[in-house]
């Protein structure tokens, strides 16, 4: 890894540590230290992180902490919380932390305290969400709005969708929430088919109010509504999360029902802002506020804890250790909680859009691995899909396991079985099973010597596969806030160490720009645009079929 023209001192030291340590077996580390599980665990509020099942010892961790110090992680944390423009490529501050700030201290951007405007929007969200929930803000015909539809894409969809589903136990009994993001007309049609125009509220989430996917879906929903209730109904059934007042009013939305957010809030960090309006309506503002408080608790911990006791920093450094020294460029997030089933989808954007970069902040090509590939799903379902690869595949996949100690639905012995599964998976990945152990197991099962010789290799597991276990008392709004803020800060720290801008997303734009060139050709309104032979052939083939 290059910083400037040569490897840094801390990086060279880590390479030496890696060469000495790389073949160490975790089962031997546990055998040598009966307190290892306790020593490599941290608590915050009702959250526990056990990171003992990693290929680390004190020497490794001290070398990683030295790297964080050398890369200026402390100063970058202060810069972010202080409102400095750490998004260098777009010359913007990065202040999602301000959105959940609970104290009265100001945060200045360009000499202006941003906290009053943030609180004004939060108050507006509180008042509007309660009016919808209580039925004092009604639809055009006077009926209560009980079907809430969020129309957005990317950060305007993934965060609110994940959080709303995660907090489903807290929904108002008469509220139903829907999300439309995909430009595929099926996504829009399938939602509209379930709705009654008189009881439906649409939330259009687009900062510029020009996002093609979002506005296409919004106009389709508008036509559906006006066909049923007329043009005058639009202002009673649509609200906007935007800054473009002119376009919002042109659409027919009352600007009093436009909720602002700011350039210092990136899309994938925006669920704490007005983008979270649907969360407020679904669970109530008090629960939304508890989510902000949970995130703030993690923010305070991240900003003040020393690195050796700092949960996001430790998770970030473990990721660096595997990504850049073991050359493991992937990891899995497995929540053992059905309400968190969409967490991996959300984290994919958070991590891969933030750190999927190949140019440094010094405007030089990156010559080392940056953002890893993230995948996941809800346990125990995924145990029967890709866990075979996790246990016996040729590639190592570090895993984050997440579970509440108490379920929202304590039915029979379901949750004890779920808990036993998550704990067994972590232990199995770490411990594995030797050929000798497999042979003894087969012998006990009554297998012949020839059968044992044939099967023992298939039945053995290499083990030494790392995982973290994150336990909450319960997945409530506060815990969800902690969890999401933890991953936000983890991703940020890794971006600092890799010397990249974690807050732009120019890679999202090229394909969208080219799609705008192809669209007129598909619609038959443009001719003569040059493409490669493959793209031209595909365009012509599709046009022929669509005729």
Q: What is the pLDDT of residues 402-447, one digit of tens each?
A: 999 999 999 999 999 999 999 999 999 999 999 999 999 999 999 9
Alpha-carbon span 426 to 434, nearest angstrom = 17
Rounded mean pLDDT of 222-231?
A: 98
Nearest of 306, 341, 294 to residue 481 by alpha carbon? 294
Stretch 293-298: mean pLDDT: 98
Encoding tokens for residue 46?
């009702």
pLDDT at 281: 98
Asked if residues 162 and 343 have their Cβ atoms less than 8 Å apart, the reply is yes
Q: What is the pLDDT of residues 324-362, one digit of tens each?
A: 999 999 999 999 999 999 999 999 999 999 999 999 999
Indicate if the pLDDT at residue 15 is higher than 50: yes
Give the pLDDT score at 547.
Answer: 84
Q: How far is CA 213 from CA 159, 181, 205, 239, 422, in A?
A: 17, 7, 11, 17, 39
Catalytic residues, which ones? Answer: 353, 384, 512
Tell me how far the alpha carbon of residue 181 is from its chain's centroid. 16
- Over 50: is that where the pLDDT of 4 sits? no
Number of C-alpha atoms within 13 angstroms, CB side, residue 320? 30
pLDDT at 6: 61
Question: For residue 218, what are the β-bridge partners?
Answer: none
Is the per-residue pLDDT at 3 higher than 70?
A: no
What is the C-alpha to C-alpha distance for residues 25 and 57, in angstroms, rounded to an integer?
11
- Rounded (5°) CA angle 27-32-38: 85
Determine how many CB atoms are found less than 10 A away from the CB of residue 405: 12
3-state secondary structure (DSSP) of residue 325: helix
**Other C-beta atoms within 10 Å of 488: how many?**
25
Whole-number pLDDT of residue 5: 39
CA–CA separation, 157 and 177 (whole Å): 12
Three-state DSSP state, 104: coil
Are 286 and 274 spatial neighbours (Cβ–Cβ below 8 Å)?
no
The pLDDT of 64-81, averaged and rounded, is: 98
- C-alpha count within 13 angstroms, C-beta hemisphere, residue 204: 35
Q: How many residues does the chain have?
A: 547
Rg (Cα) of the chain, in Å, rounded? 26
Residues 6+ apart with CB under 8 A from 223: none
| pTM recorded for the entire structure | 0.96
**Residue 383 dihedral angles phi and psi, to the nearest 5°:** -60, -25
Rounded to an integer, what is the distance from CA 272 to the centroid of its chain?
Answer: 13
**Separation CA 337–CA 285 (nearest Å):** 24
Distances from the Cα of 404 to the Cα of 152, 223, 296, 297, 476, angstroms: 30, 44, 20, 18, 9
In which element (H, E) is residue 160 found?
Answer: helix 158-166
Separation between Cα atoms, residue 375 and residue 352, nearest integer Å: 10
């Amino acid at each position: 890894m290059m910083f400037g023209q040569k490897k840094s001192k801390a990086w060279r030291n880590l390479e030496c540590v890696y060469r000495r340590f790389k073949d160490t077996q975790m089962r031997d580390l546990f055998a040598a230290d009966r307190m290892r599980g306790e020593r490599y665990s941290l608590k915050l509020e009702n959250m526990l992180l056990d990171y003992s099942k990693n290929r680390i010892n004190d020497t490794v961790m001290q070398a990683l902490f030295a790297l964080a110090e050398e890369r200026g992680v402390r100063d970058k944390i202060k810069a972010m919380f202080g409102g400095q423009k750490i998004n260098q490529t777009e010359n913007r501050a990065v202040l999602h932390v301000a959105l959940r700030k609970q104290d009265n201290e100001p945060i200045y951007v360009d000499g202006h305290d941003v906290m009053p405007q943030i609180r004004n929007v939060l108050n507006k969200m509180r008042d509007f969400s309660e009016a919808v929930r209580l039925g004092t803000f009604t639809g055009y015909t006077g009926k209560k709005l009980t079907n809430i539809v969020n129309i957005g894409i990317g950060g305007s969809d993934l965060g609110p969708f994940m959080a709303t589903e995660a907090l489903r136990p807290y929904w108002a009994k008469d509220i139903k929430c829907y999300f439309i993001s995909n430009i595929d007309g099926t996504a829009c049609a399938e939602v509209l088919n379930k709705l009654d125009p008189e009881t439906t509220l649409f939330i259009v989430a687009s900062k510029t109010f020009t996002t093609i996917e979002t506005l296409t879906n919004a106009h389709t929903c508008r036509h559906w509504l006006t066909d049923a209730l007329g043009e005058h109904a639009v202002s009673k059934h649509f609200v906007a999360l935007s800054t473009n007042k002119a376009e919002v009013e042109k659409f027919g939305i009352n600007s009093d029902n436009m909720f602002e957010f700011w350039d210092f809030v990136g899309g994938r960090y925006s669920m704490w802002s007005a983008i979270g309006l649907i969360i407020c309506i679904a669970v109530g503002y008090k629960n939304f506020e508890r989510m902000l408080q949970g995130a703030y608790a993690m923010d305070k911990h991240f900003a003040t804890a020393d690195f050796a006791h700092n949960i996001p920093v430790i998770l970030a450094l473990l990721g660096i250790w595997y990504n850049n020294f073991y050359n493991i460029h992937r990891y899995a997030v497995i929540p053992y909680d059905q309400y968190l089933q969409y967490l991996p989808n959300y984290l994919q954007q958070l991590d891969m859009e933030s750190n999927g970069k190949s140019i440094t902040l010094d405007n030089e090509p990156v010559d080392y691995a940056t953002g890893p590939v993230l995948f996941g799903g809800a346990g125990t379902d995924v145990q029967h899909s890709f866990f075979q690869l996790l246990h016996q595949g040729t590639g190592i996949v570090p895993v984050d396991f997440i579970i509440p100690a108490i379920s929202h639905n304590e039915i029979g012995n379901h949750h004890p079985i779920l808990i036993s599964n998550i704990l067994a998976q972590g232990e199995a990945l770490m411990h594995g099973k030797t050929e000798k152990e497999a042979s003894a197991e087969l012998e006990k099962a009554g297998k012949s010597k020839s059968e044992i010789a044939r099967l023992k290799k298939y039945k053995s597991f290499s083990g030494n596969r790392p995982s973290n276990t994150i336990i909450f008392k319960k997945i409530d709004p506060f815990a969800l806030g902690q969890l999401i803020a933890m991953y936000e800060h983890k991703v940020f720290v890794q971006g600092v160490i890799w010397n990249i801008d974690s807050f732009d997303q120019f890679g999202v734009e090229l394909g969208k720009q080219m799609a705008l060139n192809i669209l007129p050709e598909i619609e038959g309104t443009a001719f003569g645009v040059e493409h490669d032979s493959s793209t031209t052939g595909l365009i012509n083939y599709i046009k022929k079929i669509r005729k």
